[in-house]
Amino acid sequence: MSEISKSSLSSESDASICTLFEGDFHLGLAAFLNSLVRAGFAGTVWAGYRGPLPPWVDQLKRVDQGHADEFRVADHVRVVFMKLSTSIHLTNYKPEFMLNLLANEARDCKYLWYFDPDIFVHASWSFFADWQSNGIALCQEITNNNLPPDTPQRMSWIRAAASIGFTDPKPLYHYINGGFAGVPKEYSDFLEDWKRLIEMAGERYCDLRDFSHGSTVAPFYCCDQDALNIAAMYSKHPLSTLGPQGMGFIRGNLVMFHTVGMKPWRGSLLLRALKGLPPSDGFKYYFTQVSSPIRAYSRSALARKKLACNIAAFMGRFYRRG
């Protein structure tokens, strides 16, 4: 166990975590769970999924607590896999999944965190435990981060939201990333608003079954993320936001890595480096989080990937696009 885990480990908290995944995102999930163990989180991770269970679950001890697919990741961390039947893309299912958990399986928790499975925790969990006392936790994007209250995009959002009864938006100046949110149970109406806005976008602007973006001139371009930003504008509850450095998008007070776009488990690191795209800090961190307690790769495969990552990073010192 890492030193950070030893120092911050405590009895099971009043917070739960959830995530959604399918396909090869189980490789990101393994790294995410391992990073939680190292950070000192103690509690339950609810993992909604489509398709088969991850191949690495055979490494974990099954827990008989009434859930068919519940496993112990470490002494203080358990993961419960929940088979989903929804037809919409999982990125658009986030608020509905969180609401279902708060009404049922996670009804006893006081705070629910959502993380995309391509996010890996870097800070001690004690930081998150303190953060949740501030209200709804969100993190800013790097793309379009500067988004003033009077920008045409927000004006379009206001008109679209007004058509389904939203009133009195508050001025916000930054664009929020849709892959992460922490919400107190007592503020679950925030999730209701997020869900309503996604449904409205699906009726008018986007195909919720698809991850593909809508039109850049329509109110919704990135459906779930834009809807989250609108929900934040209309929230009557306190928000607590980190800048883009919180997800490792820029240098600064790093809390987690969010590997948006290309995924570290896909493709050739060396070929990307030859194209001027060396591994990011998030890619490098990923390969430090995939060996324990969950082994996402065989020892030989991981050794090869780490070597490729090191070589690609060295190449990036001399050649990178832009």
**Mean pLDDT for each consecutive 10-residue tract of the chain (322 residues)?**
37 85 98 98 97 96 80 96 95 97 95 98 97 97 93 95 97 97 98 97 89 73 94 98 96 94 94 94 97 97 96 91 74
Give, in order, the Cα–Cα distances in Å from 316 to each of 191, 277, 285: 42, 7, 16
pLDDT at 148: 96
- pTM of the predicted structure, to 2 decimals: 0.93
Question: Residue 278 has what DSSP assignment?
Answer: P
Cβ within 8 Å of residue 265, ≥6 positions away = 24, 27, 28, 286, 296
pLDDT at 4: 36
In one-letter notation, the amino acid at residue 13 is: S
For 82-101, b where at least 16 C-beta lie within 10 A, e where not — what string?
bebeeebbbbbbbbbbbbbb
pLDDT at 7: 36
SS3 category, 239:
strand
Edge-to-edge strand ranges of the sheet holding 239-242: 61-62, 70-74, 77-83, 43-50, 15-22, 111-115, 180-184, 136-139, 239-242
Question: Residue 205 has what DSSP assignment?
Answer: T
Residue 298 CB-density burial (10 A; 0-12 exposed, 13-18 middle, 19+ buried): exposed
In one-letter notation, the amino acid at residue 49 is: Y
- Is the CB of residue 115 less than 8 Å from the CB of residue 17? yes
Cβ within 8 Å of residue 132, ≥6 positions away = 15, 111, 113, 182, 184
**Which contacts qualify for 204-210: CB closer than 8 Å, 24 or more apart?**
204/160, 208/88, 208/89, 208/92, 209/87, 209/88, 209/89, 210/89
Tokens 């496993």 — which residue?
71
Report the alpha-carbon distance of residue 229 to residue 1 in Å, rounded: 37
CA angle 204, 210, 214 (to 5 degrees): 45
Residues of the chain with CATH 3.90.550.10: 3-247
pLDDT at 66: 62
Nearest to 74 by CA among 105, 108, 45: 45
Domain 3-247 in CATH: superfamily? Spore Coat Polysaccharide Biosynthesis Protein SpsA; Chain A (3.90.550.10)
Report the alpha-carbon distance of residue 8 to residue 264 in Å, rounded: 28
Tokens 């939203």 — which residue?
166
Report the alpha-carbon distance of residue 257 to residue 265 in Å, rounded: 15
Report the alpha-carbon distance of residue 98 to residue 17 in Å, rounded: 9
Distance, C-alpha 34 to centroid of its chain: 15
Residue 7 CB-density burial (10 A; 0-12 exposed, 13-18 middle, 19+ buried): exposed
Tokens 């989180």 — which residue?
41
